[in-house]
């Protein structure tokens, strides 16, 4: 079933573009890829399907739509990119492992050296390198500037020692963009440096951390005398905070999209039909979610038409906050509909998404994390409050 909510919005050119995208997706998405998209529990789909979908989009020239054309972008407008995202979700496309495409790629285009761009960008586009984010530490989450992992300059290398935590996909990633402390004195925000780290470097150890959803999506990463060439530093030494903030903006702007929310709502409506429930409370909560989502879709669409940086930054925090909280509500309704069967099936089948019931349980647990990563809801309320007050 396709989500038709979008077809009411837009110009003739946008309608034509939507038709072109639909034609491509109908042809390119095999049933196996769609099944992987539907079964997605965490922040990306099963990695094999995610990689195959990446490859297919790369072949079509649509893997990095938001990048400038000279670096492999499509030249689409922000609204065309939004239409593309929504159609991918409506067609159950796999969710990509996209830290390279969405975060470090745009950052290198903005702040990387010519050599970094020439080496890393083609590898991100082709899918040769998957990237993870090494920011958080046990004592540095919301208070990120408190990070302790150290890097000492020795000749033409930095030598890293310390420990990162909650690193999504570190077990799958080829590379990490990491924040390290290069100077202890002064304000905590000063003395941080941004490095690009090859995950195969000797001295790196990755230990998976199992979450309440049943997935081991994130990891603890320890560094013991890990050598990183100085040319893999982005920005100046001790000025990594500026670089990190820019990257966080990209991450927040691309986190939970209305397309993915509509997919979650559609699955919940399908679950309701399958359960045959006529309970009015469930119907009312689904209607309420539909209304909130329709409002968010309009905000997302309007913001995509804005070319003001301040408006886009405000929108990134607003969307992160509202979309992740709505995602949680939708998964709560799904879990209520599925009832005890959800947990029973999930445990019995040893699979997080073997049936719509098991999927409802896994998705409910996985979505608890959405209001924590990429800045907690409280942190985003602080950001929005500061912007509103001036
Ligand atoms: C599923 C998942 C994936 C993640 N992936 C990554 C990753 O790939 N890479 C990475 O580096 N990190 C990752 N993280 C870590 C994430 O960025 C941190 O969990 C997040 O920044 C919160 O930090 P914390 O867990 O230390 O909580 P804390 O910062 O200790 O916060 C605890 C509570 O205090 C509140 N709080 C803290 N400060 C304030 C304040 N100033 N005002 C109001 N309330 C406040 C918070 O909102 C929260 O409710 C991931 C986390 C999760 C859950």
- Is 145 found in the same domain as 178? yes
Residue 328 Cα, ligand 1 centroid: separation in angstroms?
Answer: 17
- In a domain, residue 266? The reply is yes
Cα(242)–Cα(211) distance, rounded to whole angstroms? 31
Other C-beta atoms closer than 10 Å to the C-beta of 219 total 21
Residue 332 Cα, ligand 1 centroid: separation in angstroms?
Answer: 22
Cα(17)–Cα(24) distance, rounded to whole angstroms? 11
Cα(31)–Cα(45) distance, rounded to whole angstroms? 14
- Is 371 found in the same domain as 351? yes
- Is 272 found in the same domain as 166? no
- Is 260 found in the same domain as 365? yes
- Chain length of the chain: 390
CATH code of the domain containing 341:
1.20.140.10
- In a domain, residue 347? The reply is yes
Cα(93)–Cα(91) distance, rounded to whole angstroms? 6
- Is 179 found in the same domain as 295? no
- Is 216 found in the same domain as 305? no
- Is 193 found in the same domain as 147? yes
CATH code of the domain containing 192:
2.40.110.10
The residue among 98, 116, 144 that closes a domain is 98
The residue among 56, 79, 98 that closes a domain is 98
Residue nearest (by alpha carbon) to ligand 1 atom 25: 141
| CA nearest to 246, candidates 158, 177, 347 | 177
Q: Is 278 exposed, middle or buried (0-12, 13-18, 19+ CB in 10 A)?
A: exposed
| CA nearest to 182, candidates 200, 155, 156, 161 | 161
Task: For ligand 1, pick from 44, 104, 130, 136 the residue to mutate: most ligand atoms within 8 Å of CB.
Answer: 136
- Is 376 found in the same domain as 278? yes
- Contact (Cβ atoms closer than 8 angstroms) between residue 31 and residue 111: no
Tens place of pLDDT per residue across the chain (390 aa) = 445 455 556 788 899 999 999 999 999 999 999 999 999 988 899 999 999 999 999 999 999 999 999 999 999 998 999 999 999 999 999 999 999 999 999 999 999 999 999 999 999 999 999 999 999 999 999 999 999 999 999 999 999 999 999 999 999 999 999 999 999 999 999 999 999 999 999 999 999 998 887 777 889 999 999 999 999 999 999 999 999 988 887 777 666 789 999 999 999 999 988 887 777 888 899 999 999 999 999 988 888 777 677 777 788 888 889 999 999 999 999 999 888 877 777 777 666 667 888 889 889 999 999 999 989 999 999 999 998 887
- Contact (Cβ atoms closer than 8 angstroms) between residue 144 and residue 207: no
Q: Which atom of ligand 1 is nearest to the CA of 139?
A: 26
Q: Where are the beta strands (DSSP E) in 59-210?
A: 131-134, 150-154, 157-168, 175-181, 192-198, 204-209
Fill in the DSSP letter of residue 277: -
- In a domain, residue 372? The reply is yes
Range of the domain at 207: 131-244
Coil, strand or helix: which one is 177? strand
Count of CA atoms in the C-beta half-sphere (13 A) of 314? 16
Cα(303)–Cα(299) distance, rounded to whole angstroms? 6
| DSSP codes, 317-363 | HHHHHHHHHHHHHHHHHHHHHHTHHHHHHHHHHT-TTSSHHHHHHHH
- Is 273 found in the same domain as 222? no
- Is 293 found in the same domain as 191? no
- In a domain, residue 284? The reply is yes
CATH code of the domain containing 65:
1.10.540.10
Residues lining ligand 1, CB < 6 A? 132-136, 141-143, 166-168, 218, 369, 372-373, 376, 378-379, 382
Cα(243)–Cα(234) distance, rounded to whole angstroms? 7
Residue 219 Cα, ligand 1 centroid: separation in angstroms?
Answer: 14
Coil, strand or helix: which one is 154? strand
Give the total number of structural domains in the chain: 3
Cα(228)–Cα(157) distance, rounded to whole angstroms? 5
Cα(333)–Cα(320) distance, rounded to whole angstroms? 20
- Between strands 175-181 and 131-134, the pairing is parallel
- Is 259 found in the same domain as 232? no
- Is 383 found in the same domain as 264? yes
- In a domain, residue 118? The reply is no
Count of CA atoms in the C-beta half-sphere (13 A) of 178? 36
Beta bridge partners of 137: 140
- In a domain, residue 121? The reply is no
- In a domain, residue 103? The reply is no
Cα(89)–Cα(258) distance, rounded to whole angstroms? 9
The residue among 244, 264, 295 that closes a domain is 244
Phi and psi, residue 238, nearest 5°: 75, 0
- In a domain, residue 26? The reply is yes
Question: What is the token pair recorded at 377?
Answer: 């809801």
At residue 2, the pLDDT reads 46
Residue 271 Cα, ligand 1 centroid: separation in angstroms?
Answer: 32
Residue 183 Cα, ligand 1 centroid: separation in angstroms?
Answer: 24
């Amino acid at each position: 079933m396709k989500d038709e909510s979008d077809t009411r919005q837009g110009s003739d050119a946008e309608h034509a573009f939507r038709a072109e995208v639909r034609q491509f997706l109908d042809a390119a998405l095999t049933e196996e890829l769609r099944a992987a998209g539907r079964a997605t529990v965490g922040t990306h789909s099963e990695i094999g399907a995610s990689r195959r979908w990446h490859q297919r989009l790369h072949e079509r020239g649509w893997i990095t739509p938001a990048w400038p054309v000279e670096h492999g972008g499509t030249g689409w407008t922000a609204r065309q990119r939004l239409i593309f995202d929504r159609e991918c979700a409506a067609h159950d496309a796999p969710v990509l492992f996209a830290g390279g495409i969405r975060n470090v790629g745009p950052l290198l285009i903005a702040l990387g050296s010519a050599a970094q761009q020439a080496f890393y960008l083609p590898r991100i586009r082709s899918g040769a390198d998957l990237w993870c984010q090494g920011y958080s530490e046990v004592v540095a989450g919301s208070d990120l500037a408190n990070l302790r992992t150290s890097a000492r300059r020795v000749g033409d290398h930095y030598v890293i020692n310390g420990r990162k935590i909650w690193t999504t996909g570190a077990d799958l990633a080829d590379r990490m963009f990491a924040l390290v402390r290069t100077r202890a004195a002064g304000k905590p925000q000063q003395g941080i440096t941004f490095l690009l780290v090859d995950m195969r470097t000797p001295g790196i150890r990755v230990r998976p951390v199992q979450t309440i959803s049943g997935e081991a999506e994130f990891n603890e990463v320890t560094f013991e005398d890990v050598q990183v060439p100085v040319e893999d530093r982005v920005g100046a030494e001790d000025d990594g905070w500026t670089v990190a903030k820019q990257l966080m903006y990209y991450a927040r702007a691309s986190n939970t999209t209305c397309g993915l929310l509509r997919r979650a709502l559609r699955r919940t409506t399908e679950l309701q039909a399958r359960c045959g429930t006529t309970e009015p409370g469930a119907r009312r909560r689904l209607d309420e979610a539909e209304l909130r989502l329709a409002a968010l879709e309009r905000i997302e669409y309007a913001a995509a038409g804005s070319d003001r940086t301040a408006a886009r930054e405000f929108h990134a925090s607003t969307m992160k906050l509202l979309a992740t909280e709505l995602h949680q509500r939708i998964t709560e309704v799904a879990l209520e509909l599925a009832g005890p069967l959800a947990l029973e099936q999930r445990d019995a089948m040893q699979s997080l998404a073997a049936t719509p019931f098991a999927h409802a349980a896994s998705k409910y647990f996985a979505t608890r994390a959405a209001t924590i990563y990429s800045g907690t809801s409280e942190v985003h309320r602080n950001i929005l409050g500061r912007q509103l007050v001036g």
